[in-house]
Chain A
Amino acid sequence: MDLASLVSCFGSSACLVTQVTSGLIIGMLLFLVAAGLTLIFGVLKVINFTHGAFYMLGAYFAFSIFKATDSYVIAMFGAAVATAVVGLIFERLFMSRVYGRNMLMQLLVCYGFILIFDDVVKIIWGAEFRSMGMPAIFQVPPLFIAGGVVPPFYLFLVSMTTVIGVTLWLVIERTRFGKIVRAAAHNPSMLSVLGINTGVLYGLVFGLGGLLAGFAGALAAPVRSLTPGMGFSILIESFIVTVIGGMGSIVGAFIGSLLIGLIRTFGTVGFPLFTDGLMYLFMVMVLIARPTGLFGKEIA
């Protein structure tokens, strides 16, 4: 434990800025992954254990597209769309066969696919660490905000994830598609009676989840090293986020992600050996206070 450095960090604006920005980076990436997870759960009532693998695929797709086109914008959107297609196909061909069955069977299908995706990545891109490198536009001197060092890419990442988050919110709240999605979360059989093809809808929701995870992977690619199995830790973290925020709540996922991001960065300063433990401890405290998470609905 290193409480002294935690206290001194709170006393210096430079340290605060640095920690808060890196907390935001972790939190916003986590939000994109957790939002897809919680959306899929809200509508389909299944837990997509392959979501971490989607994030990994997004990062590797971005890596290859960037190498081929040398354009980060194309890489980002290309990776997101490609991951969305993977999500859509995965849902239509496999997940859709195990709905309404035991949760364990969904876990089995997902586990099988995690192994398959990890192995495919190993065959195509190799087992060793890969690094995409910072795109040329962002290779400029860092900004200094209140004495804290902030790389320009961090600003881009935070604004990009904010744009994606706001767009997601608008799509869910303000469009016809969003209305259908919310209706499906509420009562899917009534929806299909009203003439909506719920099968297609489920595929699209999975695709949307894949799109978000793909964006997260692509945005993480310049700042993280890529390795098969990189999806596992973000999967566990986004589970924690969905539990803290409440399963099925996108607002909850947002708040939960930011909290986890900040806990991680300030935890590293104050409790270097116990950073992961802090996340779990926080989750346990939330569950004791609210058994369905901060924004979860009471399960009657």
Chain B
Amino acid sequence: MRPSLRNDLVIGAIAIVVLVLLPLVSPSKALIDFVIRAASLGLFATSLNLLIGYGGMVSFGHGSFFGLGAYTPLLFYTLWGWPPMAGIPAGIALSIGLSLLIGMPTFRLTGHYFSMATIAVAELIRIFTGTWDFVGAAIGLQGPAIARGWWDLTFRSELPYYYLFLAVLALLLAVTSFIERRRFGFYLRAIKASERAARSLGVPVRRTKMQALALSAAFTSVAGSLYVIKTGFIDPDSGFGILISVQMVIIAALGGAGTLYGPLVGAAILIPLQTATNTWFGGGGSGLTYILYGGIIVLIARFEPGGVFELWHHIIPQRWRSKLAA
């Protein structure tokens, strides 16, 4: 299916206008908070989507890049008192380095073996970090408690984070949308459909996979950096933990892996579900929380196997869509 540029642009433009104006119209803190969380998870899931959605390589170990992106800014702050922002490029460089290192051997592996290798890398890093005093061992690292200046990016208000997260997310979506239409994007989808066929038609399989992994790693690292700049704290489990990596795959798959806005839709569905089920049923994860949560996931997977974003094709009549796409 060829992605329609006009549809994507229309949706994107509407979303930008609504989201930029939202804080001015409704000062509801819960709403702002929700958008920040969705953007934060959405950043991670969209970066992962580049690899699993378009390239078909399911990584359960993306926590390794998220963790590198989260640890580096706080490490720089702890060691030399640098503003956390300064660690972002170093985190990106480290993540790309790691992706090159693990890409070479793991691309020999297929399917499940590849996924397990990515878990192994992330878990080894997590265990190692948890015993290494230089990076705070099991306790982790902390960022500046009080801002020394704007460059620390530590704000009391939520609004600066709101715009910061959305701006980076918009950039990532623009890159993804650009890639979708380039030769690179077609290569990736060809590899996903059949690696052997793609290779026989002259697609440089290894190089394409490597580039996809490196790009995805770089953006995942940025997602980690932004997360830590907002929370000001990181430990091995919240950085490299396997549950985070798996949850991101779930979010991307739920919304629709391999579509531009799919991972965002997934994030937007999962966050309120988590919050709502908790408040309706007494909180604390007791009662029916996860039964409802799990049930909805199962229903989506069972009846809408392309992810929620596929619903678009059922709800909006054909005539309409062709007019939009024309």
Residues of A that sit less than 8 Å from B by CB: 41, 47, 94, 97-98, 101-105, 107-109, 111-116, 118-120, 122-123, 127, 236, 239-240, 242-243, 247, 273-274, 276-277, 280-281, 283-284, 287-288, 291-293, 299
Contact = CB atoms under 8 A, between A and B. Distances in A.
A98 B302 contact: yes
A97 B300 CA distance: 12
B113 A291 contact: yes
Nearest to A280: B120
B134 interface: no
Nearest to A45: B111
Given A276-B123, A280-B123, A103 B302 contact: no
Given A103-B58, A276-B123, A112 B116 contact: no
Nearest to A126: B286
B286 A291 contact: no
A236 B126 CA distance: 15
B290 A115 contact: yes
A67 B107 CA distance: 51
Nearest to A93: B302
B301 A112 contact: yes
A114 B58 CA distance: 20
Nearest to A292: B113
B298 A287 contact: no
B55 to A, nearest CB: 13
B131 interface: yes
Given A111-B250, A291-B113, A94 B58 contact: no
B116 A108 contact: no
Contacts of B124: 277, 280-281, 284
B301 A108 contact: yes
Contact of A102 (B123, B257, B298): B257
Nearest to A123: B287
B68 interface: no
Given A98-B301, A122-B286, A299-B110, A104 B58 contact: yes
Q: 7 closest Cβ contacts across the A-B interface? A: A115-B294, A112-B297, A112-B298, A108-B301, A104-B253, A112-B294, A116-B294
22 contacts: A47-B112, A98-B301, A98-B302, A102-B305, A108-B297, A109-B302, A116-B295, A116-B298, A119-B289, A127-B286, A239-B119, A273-B127, A273-B130, A274-B127, A276-B123, A281-B124, A284-B121, A287-B109, A291-B108, A291-B110, A292-B113, A293-B113
Given A112-B297, A119-B289, 20 more contacts: A97-B302, A102-B253, A104-B249, A113-B294, A115-B290, A115-B293, A118-B290, A119-B288, A119-B290, A119-B291, A127-B286, A247-B113, A274-B131, A280-B120, A280-B127, A281-B124, A284-B117, A287-B113, A288-B105, A291-B110
Nearest to B138: A273
Interface string B200-227: 0000000000000000000000000000
Given A239-B116, A274-B131, A288-B105, A105 B305 contact: yes
B25 to A, nearest CB: 35
Contacts of A113: 294, 298
Query: What's the interface size class on B, roughly?
Result: 35 or more
Which among B111, B113, B119 has the highest number of chain A CB atoms within 10 Å? B113
A290 to B, nearest CB: 10
Contacts of B242: 236
Contacts of A118: 290
A236 B245 CA distance: 14
Contacts of B109: 287, 291
B110 to A, nearest CB: 6
B169 interface: no
Contacts of A291: 108-110, 113
Contact of B253 (A108, A280, A281): A108
B120 A105 contact: no
B51 interface: no
Nearest to B111: A103
B291 to A, nearest CB: 5
Contacts of B116: 239-240, 243, 283, 287
B188 interface: no
A236 B254 CA distance: 22
A102 B249 CA distance: 13
A185 to B, nearest CB: 15
B163 interface: no
B52 interface: yes
Contacts of B105: 287-288
B128 interface: yes
A251 B31 CA distance: 54
A214 B105 CA distance: 37
Contact of A115 (B121, B127, B252, B297): B297
Which among B124, B254, B287 has the highest number of chain A CB atoms within 10 Å? B124
B120 A283 contact: yes
A239 B116 CA distance: 8
A273 B295 CA distance: 38
Interface in B276-314: 285-291, 293-298, 300-302, 305
Which among B123, B130, B257, B300 has the highest number of chain A CB atoms within 10 Å? B123
Contacts of B111: 103
A286 B16 CA distance: 49
A94 B302 contact: yes
Contacts of A288: 105
A4 to B, nearest CB: 19
A101 B56 CA distance: 13
Contacts of A240: 116
